[in-house]
Structure 1
Amino acid sequence: MEKSLSHAPQGAHARRAYLGGLLLAIGGAVLFSTKAVVAKLLYRYHIDAVTLIAFRMLFSLPVFAAVAVWQMRSGPPLSVSDRWRLVGMGLIGYYLSSFLDFLGLQYISVGLERLILFLTPTFVLLMTTVFLRRHISRKQWLALLISYCGIVLVFLHDLKGGASNVALGSMLVLGSAASYAVYLLLSGEMVKRLGALRLVAYAMCVSSVACIAQFFLLRPASLLIQPAPVYWLSLVNGILCTVMPVFMTMIAVARIGAGTASQAGMIGPVSTLFLGALVLGESITPWQLAGTSLVLAGIYQLSKNK
């Protein structure tokens, strides 16, 4: 009797920790997806993707730099090879991926953008098959087919709606998803040695420097002077839509595991679809809902495979 009573508080504590991790994963997915809506609002002030991403990183860099310095002092020094790998990962995973994403958002709806980015796990699976020669089961192939059918539905809907350059925007966002998939593959081995917090902080610092340097190389410094709403929206983009979801997702993975956290992240495309309708006035049609359901079903099926 005493033994069962002693285990009860431990079980309740574990349950609270699990629910807390689940809420963090859901909150991180929603906040990260919101960056597409914020980007659309920023484009109304006639700034381009280069300027938008530079402002985003200007606000997020101080936080990532502080975490990187803290990790630098507490962890062992990096080898020369690890430093070069981190530079490459930062350029591919966050700089190139973010840049292509924001470029694509100029041409497509936030709902379609989020659905395409949600195909990143399928790119990882395909890349491991091609480059690492890993076997894909029939269930995984079926999950891939279901997901891509959902994307095609939404893509064709946007084309019918007369949206300009939908194909171009979709290809740019596809490139974003593919480049981030490459980053995930490269980070698999390094995250075990460096730890997720250290790896993300270093990679984000590299990406931030690259995005800011790109701005000063391609745009005049006078473009830093913008209307007040641009600064406020960029602050939201940098802190609420970049820094917070990165760390929230990391904590969630530590508490509930990567598999459960990824399943919780399936709320992302749905939240973007409804946020786009609420904030931007984008329509929600039965075709979009059907496509979203197919993508979520395919990704859920993939997440069940070890």
Structure 2
Amino acid sequence: MSSPLSPSHDRRQYLIGLAIAISGAVLFSTKAIVAKLIYRYPVDAVTLIAFRMLFSLPIFALIALWQARQGPRLSNPDRWRLVALGLVGYYLSSFLDFMGLQYITAGLERLILFLTPSFVLLISAVFLKRKVRGIEWAALSLSYMGIVLVFVHDLKFGGEQVLFGSALVLGAALSYSLYLIQSGQLVMRLGSLRLVSYAMCVSSVACITQFFALRPASMLIQPAPVYWLSLINAIFCTVLPVFLTMFAVQRIGAATASQAGMVGPVSTLFLGAIFLGEAVTTWQLAGTVLVMAGMYLLSKK
């Protein structure tokens, strides 16, 4: 009988952590599929994101209250930083992302968002004077070649809409990159769970306020499938992936969990084909492979 610290036990714990990380990546990537399904009804990005946050806010608010009792009181500077991070990292990023999804395929959206680590690297190099090594430049080159392949392919069929939608999603990725760079010190002091729950509460309030400022309250009355899909979007594509990713990081470490997340673009590509009827072409597969190879090199580094 093996002991708790035996190699077989360690391997089992590693495989469980890996499965959790993959599940989180797939669920988070499914967000684009669910959003595309919601867009088949008379719903725009402002309404979609409001429903998403209306359903997820109670859960994040409960977590935030629980975390507030567990940890030390926030200083005033930290409160303002959290507000800024919530607005930039989750509100602005999500809003631009869902707007972009109105114009481009779910597969292209996921690939652009998957470039976030490369944007973090480039921003750090330009503004924080971080040295970029040769292998990192190689990783960036591979990734951007992959994006160009998929983008040019989609541009032939979507024209200016693809260009506009890709620009919006690119803005979402850049916005989230800024969040990742700026959240480093706070996550060390507060912990990831507390930081995420606080930032998501700020984002939720901003998204809901935006809805009531820009849309009539009558827009809350939608066909039943919109409510069910929004609930799925909130619980299974927003709240659950956050926890799964955190559990995975605790078990197998951030680097391995990040590499497991590479299943996201592939799952989006095939889920888009199954549920949305989006074509899976050789160009898209080649571009996806290049992007994943580049991000794999970057994550290993």
When the two structures are superposed, what TM-score results if normalisation uses the length of structure 1? 0.96
2:281 alignment partner AA: T
- Tell me the residue number matched to 2:176: 180
State the 1:10 CA deviation: 3.8
Q: Find 2:110's aligned residue among 92, 114, 117.
A: 114
Asked if 1:224 is matched to 2:187, the reply is no
Tell me, in whole angstroms, the C-alpha distance in 2 between the residues paired with 1:44 and 1:84: 38
1:298 aligned partner: 294
Partner Cα distance (2:2, 2:241) in 1 = 36
- Cα distance between partner residues in 1 of 2:169 and 2:217: 28
SS in 2 for 1:95: helix
Ranges in structure 1 where 5+ consecutive residues have no aligned partner: none
Per the alignment, in what secondary structure is the counterpart of residue 208 of structure 1?
Answer: helix
In structure 2, stretches of 5+ residues that fail to align are none
* Corresponding residue for residue 148 of structure 2: 152
Q: CA RMSD in A?
A: 1.1
Give CA-to-partner distance per residue, 1:126-179, whole Å, 9 cap, x none: 011111111000110011011000000000000112455110000000000000
Alignment of 1:59-98 (within 5 A): 59-98=55-94
For residues 7-62 of structure 1, the C-alpha deviation after alignment (integer angstroms, 9 at most, x for no partner) is 56543332222111111110000000001000000000021000000000001001
Deviating runs (4+, > 6 A) in structure 1? none
Letter paired with 1:43? Y
Q: How many residues align?
A: 301
Which amino acid is the alignment partner of residue 260 of structure 2?
Answer: A
Give the conservation status (yes or no) of the 8 Å contact 1:89–1:186: yes
Instruction: Describe how 1:52-63 pairs up with structure 2 within 5 A.
Output: 52-63=48-59
Residues 104 and 165 in structure 2, CA contact (< 8 A), matched pair in contact too: yes
Return the match for 2:121 from 125, 140, 148: 125
Q: Contact 2:2 / 2:8 at 8 angstroms: preserved in 1?
A: no
In structure 1, what is the equivalent of residue 268 of structure 2?
Answer: 272
TM-score where L is the length of structure 2: 0.98
- 1:8, 1:227 → 2: CA distance? 52
What is the one-letter code of the residue matched to 1:287? W
- Which is worse superposed, 103-112 or 163-172? 163-172
Aligned partner letter, 1:105: L
Select 1:50's aligned residue among 46, 51, 74.
46
Say which SS state the counterpart of residue 161 (structure 1) adopts.
helix
Per-residue CA distance 1:75-97 (angstroms, 9 max, x = gap)? 11000000000000000000000
Summarize the Cα distance change of 1:220–1:16 in structure 2 as closer, same or farther, 3 Å threshold: same
Query: CA distance change for structure 1 residues 263 and 144 in 2, over 3 Å: closer, same or farther?
Result: same
Matched residues in 2 for 1:162 and 1:73: separation? 51
CA contact (8 A) 2:2 2:9 kept: no
Deviations 1:186-229 (A, max 9, x none): 11111111001100000000001100000000001111011100
For the residues of structure 1 that align with 2:156 and 2:218, how far apart are their CA atoms? 40
